[in-house]
Amino acid sequence: MNQLDALRQWTTVVADTGDFKQLSISKPQDATTNPSLILKAVQKPEYRPLLDETVKKHAGKPLDEVIDRLLVRFGTEILSIIPGRVSTEVDARLSFDTAATIARGERIVALYKAEGIDTEKRLLIKVASTWEGIEAARQLEQKGIRTNLTLLFSFAQAVACGAAGVQLISPFVGRIYDWYKKSAGASWNEAESSGANDPGVKSVRQIYAYYKQHGIKTEVMGASFRNAGQIKALAGCDLLTISPELLAELAASNEPLQHALDAKATGADIAKVSYDEAGFRFALNEDAMATEKLAEGIRAFAADAVKLEKLMQESGK
């Protein structure tokens, strides 16, 4: 049994890609996308026609709507290959606007429904884990729209998402690791900060333990991996979303894989926590890593959304 098959025994494997033609190789249960991945995909010759066709078909409609239609086009292609769910992201530029996030999420759902997709079972609306995004997700969930809270770097964000009853969270393992490695500079010791000691891995383990100990139903999906060691250290997490390159690396290895996380044995008890808006904002502010990476992530996704818009404008000329 290779390591990818071993991982599937305990964890739902999710592909993190906009390149849907690769999905038949790794055979994931679910798939996630984001603006950066879609931008990367449409710059490839085999995917550019999807952008051009979408722009031509919906000429004259607002650019933000055409982008959503492109995201849904990719999503429906993905759903034709995988058996599970696809995550489609709301524009990051709406990360601090609850009402606009809800409206955009509802429009994406409507577009999928128009394609005959059972959105309650097969779609997750991806939203940034800001206070406003979490509140939007709370309201979307109450309407039967399932959500995936992304750009999650802190325990406070995870606590708020659990309290909001969101379907799933995506803590970013690799970006947490990046921050601590950069912060440590020359004093960083890779060997001592790998596996279970990796700061990104430790963050996900804490969140996973907290959710399981307090009966929080929100699914935990580790994301943004830099190496296979981070994935192995989280074997047993509810879900893990993995790049095609790392999926291939796991599939090529026949070394034994240990069950690292167990919902029945999560370690020391973690006290129940709750936040109002002021408490959440202060807790997030106290976490320099989470504050910086959240802001950086929103800026990066927003910049890629702008680049995608420019490609569409060029296509329509």
**Contact predicate 82/288, CB 8 Å:** no
Nearest CA to 240 out of 225, 222, 258 is that of 222
Catalytic residue among 44, 126, 143, 264: 126
**Contact predicate 222/206, CB 8 Å:** no
56: annotated active-site residue: no
- Give the active site residues: 126
